Copies of this chain bind each other. A is one copy, B any other.
Amino acid sequence: MKLKEIKSDIAWATPKRVVIHGLDLCDEIVGKLDFGQMAFLQIFGRLPADDNELRMFNAMMVILVEHGITPSSLATRMTYCGAPEAVQAAVAAGLLGLGSVFVGSLDNAARLLQESLPGQEVGDDVDMNALAADIVAGYRSRKEILPGIGHPFHKPIDPRAPALFKVAQETGFDGPYIRLMVALGEQATQQAKRPLPVNVTGAMAAVASEMGISWKICRGLAVAARSVGLVGHILEEMRQPMAETLYLRIEHEASAHLRPADEA
């Protein structure tokens, strides 16, 4: 069999040193870079160009860390309840549900933006309102859900979108993708005749696009950030557990209609 070459450019090590994306772990990373810079290095293969780029990246990462009691944090707590010795499995279980329902709109919105405004020099001469009107009309005619728009709980507006866009303005990342995303919210609102502004995943998709992050890896950023949050839920589950109480309660309620009255 002909052997195809394999290579990885991320890291290498010798007994005396470890080098990651060209930086010596011991001399140039530990004590020098913070966790946000390290995450940036790992995603972009380079350090942030300046404080603005780092601040924008950090804003996007922190917004994803913690969302309270969600299906994801409950899966983590249920898993920890059965396998407290395998903390890695509890984190992994919580990550596994970050799919099409909760985080998929991030990928989808980023893809929509990046495919609507492809190329290097995007957007300067584009009529965003016309483009957005077309896109919205297309989704409506196909009865598809427009990603990144509207929120069942945070309404009329999702406060996280303007918070992220404010940082984008302050750091110079308020470019064409954000303009298109905002226009999509406005056009959706107009065509549906009810408030459908940009939500948190729409805002993140726009910011990620401004930073040059491919839509294909947006979900990865969400997953990495959320894993930090899930560790917090494990810590709390250690101190004030809820998983056992919950499953006993749910089992009791869910099978009540099956259990004979005299055996309940």
Given known contacts A20-B66, A38-B65, A238 and B254 CB-to-CB distance under 8 angstroms:
no
- CB of A232 within 8 A of CB of B65, answer no
* A42 partner, pick from B87, B229, B240, beta carbons under 8 A: B229
* Number of A residues, CB within 8 Å of B: 129
Encoded as 1 (CB less than 8 Å from any B CB) or 0, chain A from 239 to 252 comes to 01011111111111
Encoded as 1 (CB less than 8 Å from any B CB) or 0, chain A from 51 to 90 comes to 0001101110111011111111011001111111111111
Q: Which residues of B contact A25 (CB under 8 A)?
A: 63, 160, 163
- CB of B82 within 8 A of CB of A102, answer yes
Q: What is the CA–CA distance of A159 and B232 in the complex, to the nearest angstrom? A: 30
Report if A236 contacts B (CB, 8 A): yes
Which residues of A are at the interface with B, using a C-beta cutoff of 8 A? Answer: 1, 3-4, 6-20, 25-27, 29-31, 33-39, 42-43, 54-55, 57-59, 61-63, 65-72, 74-75, 78-93, 95-103, 153-155, 159-160, 162-164, 166-167, 170, 214, 216-217, 219-221, 223-225, 227-236, 238, 240, 242-260, 263-264
Could you jot down 30 A-B contacts, CB within 8 Å? A6-B250, A8-B254, A11-B67, A11-B258, A16-B159, A20-B68, A33-B62, A34-B34, A34-B58, A35-B62, A42-B228, A42-B232, A74-B78, A75-B93, A79-B97, A82-B100, A82-B101, A84-B101, A86-B89, A86-B96, A87-B216, A87-B217, A88-B95, A88-B99, A89-B89, A89-B96, A91-B220, A96-B96, A216-B238, A224-B231
